[in-house]
Structure 1
Amino acid sequence: MVLRISIGNKTKDTTKTSSESTKQVTTTTATSTAAHSSSSLRSGEMKIMQNFLLIWFDGNIDKNHKDFQDYFTELRNIVSTFEKFNDVNRCAEYLRRIEFEKVFLIVSGTLNKDILPLVHDMIQIDTIFFLTRDKNRYKQLEKKWSKVQIVSASVNSICKRLNKAVRECDHNVVPVSFVPKRTSMETTFDQFELSFIYSILIKEIILETKEDDTKCMKDLVAYCSQQNISESQLKHFQRKYHRKSPIWWYTYECFLFSMLNKAVCSMDLECMSKLGFFIRNLNRQLEQLHKEQSNAYKKRITVYRGQELNKEEFEDLINMKDGLLTFNNFFRLVQNNM
């Protein structure tokens, strides 16, 4: 999709929860920039199916202990790629080999503070969750280390924090590109990057393909199972898919949104083909809603979306005032900026 850029005051993103999804303005798009993706860290490893992964570091970690298994089960419902380490150097080395995804790091145990100086400033690290039963004792770490969050050592507490971090990461990872304003106010294809044209072609192929949804769903579940997506989520998806709308599933907190977001941003054709039936269903529902609601919006409406930009991206945005913004994803927008 191509949008006209206007520069205004900073706004707070207030995307609503899944129960309010019918009130959201969601648009399907095509982009100018395909994000990079490191499909695996070593030859033969499974793909990282989301824009992030989870690492748990504990010097005395016991993978077979019931408490850890309880954590593992719940956390795997949020992040599909979950690694465990009990050696500081091996953990740091693993982190260095991650190229494009963001990392959520859980730190606990006797060696918890030893790892912070080694990994805190790594660009791969998004958030470090410092797990403890005595939050006051380690509160000063949040002041010393900006990426550290002190979290109570309970499954509910860490899942709540991780869910929030995951949503923010997925929201901010969508790549955008800018096309300068033309004095003639006309835009030709030679202004866009080749990746933008490529993404349009891929989009058209997916939307025009005719396949049986039942077979496609079975293929998707089998594919996700091979990529270590949570079995409980896959079973839930199979049982409930036809009972809910595509927009509901897109806004629901499960593997589907993150997986689609990663596939589209990185132009992962294999994954996009597996998700093709869902992309078509979602696009079809959006077109139907647009048709039904178009009469209610005779005048132009303003919608908002907040997204983090690095310094270079922000400078590009400022310089491209009144230019065009291109991206290749479904966007969740709101009609107020509060």
Structure 2
Amino acid sequence: MKKERHEHLLNEYSKIIGIYVKLDDLCQSIKEQVDLVNKQIQAFSFFDQHEKSTKELSKESAALLWFQLFNYVVARLPQNQQAKQQMVQICKDYYRGNESEIKLIEEFEKTYRSEYPLLWYSKQAFIYRLINKALRTEDVDLLYIFRFFICDLSKAFATRT
């Protein structure tokens, strides 16, 4: 892509914050936006900052906004064979030497269909553990790698509610 061809969109649409042609630049911008949202949440406290309930509310609000932003971004990322292969390779590297997990990863690689993410997630195997670890630590890089599966999982949860 040529960045210059799309820069006019910055003036036409107020929600566009930048045009990125490099993944690192996009990731950096997302991190900056998340930091900005976290700072704004801290400013929204209407109560005494020393009250425990207010602090807990701020943390919960920040977590909710972070999750909503993450879900919005993941739904718009490419979900293709290359994304699947990247995710599978990271899983294989992480579980190198663990034959039972490697077999599950290879089974996933061969048989996974986007209609059944809950089946794979409920096995509480490699994909369950790695995605939960990434969500707990808010590891944006790891969450990006799991975008292929997270998008399907998010859609499955949305249709169940």
- For this structure pair, what is the TM-score category when the shorter chain's length is used for normalisation? 0.5 to 0.7
How far did residue 268 of structure 1 move?
Answer: 1.1
Q: Who is 1:180 aligned against?
A: 53
Matched residue type, 2:71: K
8 Å CA contact 2:115, 2:152 repeated in 1:
no
Q: Tell me the SS of whatever aligns to 2:144.
A: helix
Quick one: which of 130, 133, 139 aligns to 1:259? Answer: 130
Find the aligned partners of 1:198 and 1:287 in 2 and give their Cα distance: 18
Q: Do the aligned partners of residues 243 and 198 (structure 1) sit closer, same or farther apart at CA in structure 2, a change above 3 Å counting?
A: closer
Find the aligned partners of 1:195 and 1:226 in 2 and give their Cα distance: 32
Q: What's the CA shift string for 1:92-117, capped at 9, x where partnerless? A: xxxxxxxxxxxxxxxxxxxxxxxxxx
Find the aligned partners of 1:253 and 1:240 in 2 and give their Cα distance: 17
Count of matched residue pairs: 104
How far did residue 244 of structure 1 move?
Answer: 6.2
Q: Tell me the SS of whatever aligns to 2:95.
A: coil
Q: Who is 1:280 aligned against?
A: 151
Quick one: which of 92, 98, 102 aligns to 1:225? Answer: 92
2:71 corresponds to 1:200: no
Q: Who is 1:38 aligned against?
A: none
Q: Who is 1:214 aligned against?
A: 81
Q: Do the aligned partners of residues 254 and 239 (structure 1) sit closer, same or farther apart at CA in structure 2, a change above 3 Å counting?
A: same
Q: Tell me the SS of whatever aligns to 2:112.
A: helix
2:121 corresponds to 1:250: yes
Q: Who is 1:115 aligned against?
A: none
Find the aligned partners of 2:122 and 2:81 in 1 and give their Cα distance: 22
Find the aligned partners of 1:225 and 1:214 in 2 and give their Cα distance: 16
Matched residue type, 1:192: S
How far did residue 276 of structure 1 move?
Answer: 1.1
2:112 corresponds to 1:241: yes
How far did residue 195 of structure 1 move?
Answer: 4.6
Q: Do the aligned partners of residues 266 and 289 (structure 1) sit closer, same or farther apart at CA in structure 2, a change above 3 Å counting?
A: same
Find the aligned partners of 2:148 and 2:126 in 1 and give their Cα distance: 16
Q: Do the aligned partners of residues 216 and 243 (structure 1) sit closer, same or farther apart at CA in structure 2, a change above 3 Å counting?
A: closer
How far did residue 281 of structure 1 move?
Answer: 0.6
Structure 2 counterparts to residues 26-65 of structure 1, below 5 A: none
Matched residue type, 1:220: M
Matched residue type, 1:207: A
Tell me the TM-score normalised to structure 1 length: 0.27
Q: Which runs of 4+ in 1 moved over 6 A?
A: none
Q: Do the aligned partners of residues 180 and 205 (structure 1) sit closer, same or farther apart at CA in structure 2, a change above 3 Å counting?
A: same
Higher helix share: 2
Find the aligned partners of 2:108 and 2:74 in 1 and give their Cα distance: 21
How far did residue 200 of structure 1 move?
Answer: 3.4
Mark the runs of 5 or more structure 2 residues left unpaired by the alignment. 1-51
Q: Who is 1:307 aligned against?
A: none
How far did residue 237 of structure 1 move?
Answer: 0.9
8 Å CA contact 2:134, 2:140 repeated in 1:
yes
Q: Which has the larger radius of gyration?
A: 1
Find the aligned partners of 1:199 and 1:269 in 2 and give their Cα distance: 11
Q: Tell me the SS of whatever aligns to 1:252.
A: coil
Tell me the TM-score normalised to structure 2 length: 0.54
Find the aligned partners of 2:160 and 2:103 in 1 and give their Cα distance: 31
Q: Do the aligned partners of residues 226 and 270 (structure 1) sit closer, same or farther apart at CA in structure 2, a change above 3 Å counting?
A: same
Structure 2 counterparts to residues 254-333 of structure 1, below 5 A: 254-290=125-161
8 Å CA contact 2:91, 2:126 repeated in 1:
no
Higher strand share: 1
Matched residue type, 2:126: F
